[in-house]
């Protein structure tokens, strides 16, 4: 089943917003065994939309369209689909009722413009939108389908999860898709590929091993089609985990910050951060997870050295002797932030993110990360890249993974006091 995504909206072309919808859909569908072959963004122009649909139908079985379904005049997807499928709009009472109940629950008055959302193309199957006004439209073209849905991320995600993916599975997937995802850190992609070359060669027919690298870690996805291959999957998975050795972090598809949250909650631990070079980004990642208040207490962002001394009680002489990017300083930061914020665990980072600030001994990209749990401290020196944006991202990920490894009793490079 080849899938193509068409994202509609001028804002995507002029660089106003990132096409995060396509990324989300790509990830979810790939995880369910669908094969995405192209993603196209086009503006709110009927001719451009039609040309994109034509091209997509040349190669794909499933076309997913997002955007351009609002009630205002610049939203033309519905009319364009009528043109494409040679059909017309008709009023749909069920859709109106759904919109009315939605508005009632939000205590808003229904206006004429919104009422127009209840007009749907004749011949399309209508799926109710439980969280918005634009109905989801499901068109058939011989053996193929085209589904039009809202571009509002929350509405798109809700209908994709609840309606569209289950229906596509029923209709297009005769077999079950099995997969296991392994989080790996502390090894480059090429070194990992070399280590796993033999394993890959010996994989039973139908098995696929995909490398999904991020800044600071790699995900490996082992997959195969068919319920009856479960025992083999278990066996291959065990073999793979053994090969991953100490670089194995966890078996999980979750974001690493959500995985950290899960571990902390399970072990009933709390965490705080003391951040220099990451400027609060680690705290942001941790708190972006809903429910983070169960385990996250707070953070001290000591961007200026003075703050490290005054708020985190880092010893002035240590800074003068070892420099702020040093084992001693991050250890003091981790210990003191946990003490001040009364948390069992903590993360402390200090490094040089660039473009300025590097020296011969400590070039841009030098980072010390210390993680703490109870009385144990682990401090590791890393060398990240040369671009500021990437360095901040990579450092935050490395710090989160270091704490996950510590919480799951995995060996981190170096154990100190």
Place of tokens 């690493």: 256
CB of 244 to a copy of itself, least distance (A): 19
Task: Return the number of the residue (36 or 183) whose C-beta is nearest a copy of itself.
Answer: 36
Cα–Cα distance for residue pair 415/402, rounded to 1 Å: 12
CB of 298 to a copy of itself, least distance (A): 4
CB of 351 to a copy of itself, least distance (A): 12
Cα–Cα distance for residue pair 73/79, rounded to 1 Å: 10
Helix axes 77-84, 46-59, angle to 10 degrees: 60
Looking at the DSSP bridge assignments, the partners of residue 315 are none
Task: Return the number of the residue (253 or 315) whose C-beta is nearest a copy of itself.
Answer: 253
Positive or negative: CA dihedral 284, 286, 292, 294: negative
Pull the structure tokens for residue 315: 């010893």
Task: Return the number of the residue (91 or 303) whose C-beta is nearest a copy of itself.
Answer: 303
Task: Return the number of the residue (93 or 107) whose C-beta is nearest a copy of itself.
Answer: 107
CB of 184 to a copy of itself, least distance (A): 14
Task: Return the number of the residue (24 or 172) whose C-beta is nearest a copy of itself.
Answer: 24
Task: Return the number of the residue (23 or 416) whose C-beta is nearest a copy of itself.
Answer: 23
Residues in the chain: 417
Task: Return the number of the residue (230 or 306) whose C-beta is nearest a copy of itself.
Answer: 306
CB of 119 to a copy of itself, least distance (A): 22
Q: What is the dihedral of CA 170, 172, 173, 179, to 10 degrees?
A: -100
Task: Return the number of the residue (14 or 374) whose C-beta is nearest a copy of itself.
Answer: 14
Q: Is 40 helix (H, G, I), strand (E, B) or coil?
A: strand
CB of 387 to a copy of itself, least distance (A): 5
Place of tokens 């009933």: 268
Positive or negative: CA dihedral 11, 17, 21, 22: positive
CB of 355 to a copy of itself, least distance (A): 6
Q: Are the C-beta atoms of 32 and 172 separated by less than 8 Å?
A: no
Question: At residue 303, what are phi and psi to the nearest 5 degrees?
Answer: -70, -45
Contacts of residue 364, Cβ cutoff 8 Å, sequence gap at least 6: 352, 353, 354, 355, 357, 358, 386, 391
CB of 125 to a copy of itself, least distance (A): 26
Helix axes 388-407, 256-266, angle to 10 degrees: 30
CB of 378 to a copy of itself, least distance (A): 22
Task: Return the number of the residue (23 or 408) whose C-beta is nearest a copy of itself.
Answer: 23
CB of 412 to a copy of itself, least distance (A): 24
Cα–Cα distance for residue pair 151/340, rounded to 1 Å: 45
Cα–Cα distance for residue pair 269/163, rounded to 1 Å: 37
Residue among 114, 108, 155, 116 nearest 136 (CA): 155
Task: Return the number of the residue (232 or 344) whose C-beta is nearest a copy of itself.
Answer: 344
């Amino acid at each position: 089943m080849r899938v193509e995504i068409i994202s509609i909206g001028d804002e995507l072309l002029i660089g106003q917003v990132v096409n995060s919808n396509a990324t989300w859909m790509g990830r979810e569908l790939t995880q369910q065994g669908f094969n995405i072959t192209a993603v196209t963004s086009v503006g709110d122009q009927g001719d451009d939309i039609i040309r994109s649909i034509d091209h997509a139908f040349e190669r794909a079985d499933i076309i997913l369209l997002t955007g351009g379904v609002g009630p205002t005049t610049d939203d033309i997807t519905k009319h364009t689909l009528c043109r494409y499928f040679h059909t017309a709009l008709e009023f749909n009472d069920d859709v109106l009722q759904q919109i009315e109940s939605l508005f009632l629950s939000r205590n808003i008055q229904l206006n004429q413009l919104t009422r127009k959302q209840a007009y749907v193309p004749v011949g399309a199957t209508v799926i109710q939108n439980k969280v918005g006004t634009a109905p989801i439209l499901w068109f058939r073209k011989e053996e193929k389908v085209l589904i039009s849905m809202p571009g509002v991320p929350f509405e798109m995600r809700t209908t994709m999860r609840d309606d569209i993916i289950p229906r596509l599975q029923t209709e297009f997937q005769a077999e079950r898709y099995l997969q296991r995802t392994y989080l790996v850190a502390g090894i480059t992609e090429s070194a990992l590929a070399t280590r796993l070359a033999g394993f890959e060669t010996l994989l039973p027919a139908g098995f696929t091993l995909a490398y999904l690298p991020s800044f600071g870690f790699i995900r490996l996805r082992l997959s195969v089609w068919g319920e009856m291959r479960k025992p083999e999957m278990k066996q291959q998975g065990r073999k793979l985990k053994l090969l991953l050795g100490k670089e194995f972090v966890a078996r999980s598809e979750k974001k690493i910050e959500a995985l950290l949250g899960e571990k902390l909650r399970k072990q009933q631990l709390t965490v705080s951060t003391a951040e220099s070079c990451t400027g609060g980004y680690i705290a942001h990642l941790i708190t972006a997870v809903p429910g983070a208040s169960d385990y996250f207490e707070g953070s001290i962002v000591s961007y200026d050295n003075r703050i490290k001394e005054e708020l985190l009680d880092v010893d002035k002489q240590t800074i003068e002797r070892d420099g702020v990017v040093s084992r001693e300083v991050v250890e003091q930061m981790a210990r003191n932030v946990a003490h001040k914020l009364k948390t069992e665990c903590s993360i402390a980072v200090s490094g040089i993110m660039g473009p300025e600030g590097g020296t011969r001994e400590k070039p841009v990209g030098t980072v010390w990360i210390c993680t703490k749990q109870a009385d144990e401290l682990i401090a590791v020196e890393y060398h990240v890249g040369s671009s500021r944006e990437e360095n901040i991202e990579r450092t935050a990920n490395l710090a989160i993974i270091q704490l996950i490894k510590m919480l799951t009793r995995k060996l981190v490079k170096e154990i100190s006091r």
